[in-house]
Amino acid sequence: MSKVKVSANAVLEIIQGIFNDEDVNDIINDTTAPKNWKGKTIQQALNVEYYTFKHRPISTEDIINEKMKDGLTVNKLYATDRSFCLLSLGGVERLFSKDVDMLILSATMEYWVQTSKIQLLEDLIDNCNLATCGLRIPVEFGEETRQAVIILSPLQVTDVQIGTVCGEMAVCEVEVNLLLYPDVVSYSDYTVTFNWIDETAKTATMPLTSISVVNTMTQKSVPFVNFPQNVGSINLSSSKSYVLVFDGYNNEFINFITVLSLSNDKDNNQLFTMTIKRKETEYTQDVVIKDHQITINADTGNETHSLSLVTRGI
């Protein structure tokens, strides 16, 4: 596996890509927000110029002069409403392996932003953490693909400066922790959904701890044509089985199968349609319950389930 070279610019590109996602970069609809913010995205209202030490930001005065030379319309008030963010790399640790390329790195984002925008910036950071929690995000380094897990710290205000050309400004810091994994299929690439009939059609997505799938072949030994004293095998049929482990969340499917297990007068052949989504591909099977184990733990206080399913015949 080729090793990727990580730079501050590459990390900044990853973060900006996440910040620009529609699930993170909300449109401001707050009725108490300033009039010039309403209808804009958080990024547009923040008006932040992101840069690294390699690429320093161009001064506002130079930008205005260049645009005026080109005959472009310049909003000087918008220019003085500008904020800045410097990203610098901290420690980088690489897994000591010739076959697996895995990195753990840290970085610091130092903002120089109007104090009136601090709440807006906090919302952007919170949105980012909520949108990326539990996910591995595909990122590109040249021709190499990696999966990134990103964690941003809460915004810390370290200084307030009064009387600057951009107004009252705050110096804020956000710590970035980034894990880069090889491009492998992970837990976040799987989604399991069940559909069944209980008087009316029901559907539920499962919050799983783990899932295992076994495809078992029934085989028959046959001799080699030219050497009958040696034999090989052929597959005659196959059957699939599934084991799902999960906690006892207040989920419609979990509550339904728990009632099936604890009651004595329910249908033992209740049909479920299970859909397993792996990345962008879906696989659907009609299944029945083979074994359902419910455990109530005194130490954690949780109800846990181990559910065995097999494909339904006929």
Of the residues 181, 216, 239, which one is the last residue of a structural domain? 181
Of the residues 181, 203, 238, which one is the last residue of a structural domain? 181
pLDDT given for residue 54 in this prediction = 63
pLDDT given for residue 56 in this prediction = 59
146 and 196 housed in the same domain: no
State the helix-helix crossing angle for 118-132 and 8-19, rounded to 10 degrees. 90
CB neighbourhood size of 46 (10 A): 23
243 and 102 housed in the same domain: no
The per-residue pLDDT string of the chain (314 residues; one tens digit each, 9 = 90 and over) reads: 678 888 888 899 999 999 998 889 989 888 888 888 888 899 999 989 898 876 555 666 666 666 567 665 555 444 567 888 999 998 888 888 888 888 899 999 999 999 989 999 999 999 999 999 888 888 888 788 888 899 999 999 999 988 777 778 899 999 999 998 888 888 888 999 999 998 899 999 999 999 999 999 999 999 998 888 899 999 999 999 999 999 988 999 999 999 999 988 888 889 999 999 998 999 999 999 999 999 988 887 889 999 999 998 77
145 and 218 housed in the same domain: no
- CA-CA distance, 132 to 222, in Å (whole number)? 53
The predicted model scores a pTM of 0.73
151 and 25 housed in the same domain: yes
Under 8 Å between Cβ of 54 and 86: no
Q: Is 204 exposed, middle or buried (0-12, 13-18, 19+ CB in 10 A)?
A: middle
Using alpha carbons, list the distances in angstroms from residue 277 to 193, 282, 305: 8, 4, 21
- Tell me whether residue 3 is in a domain: no
The range of the structural domain enclosing residue 154 comes to: 8-181
Which CATH number characterizes residue 272's domain? 2.40.30
pLDDT given for residue 164 in this prediction = 78
245 and 301 housed in the same domain: yes
- CA-CA distance, 293 to 301, in Å (whole number)? 16
pLDDT given for residue 77 in this prediction = 46
What's the number of domains the chain is made of? 2
Which CATH number characterizes residue 48's domain? 3.30.2000
174 and 193 housed in the same domain: no
pLDDT given for residue 124 in this prediction = 93
- Give me the residue label for tokens 């190499």: 144
pLDDT given for residue 58 in this prediction = 61
- What is residue 27's DSSP assignment? B
68 and 100 housed in the same domain: yes
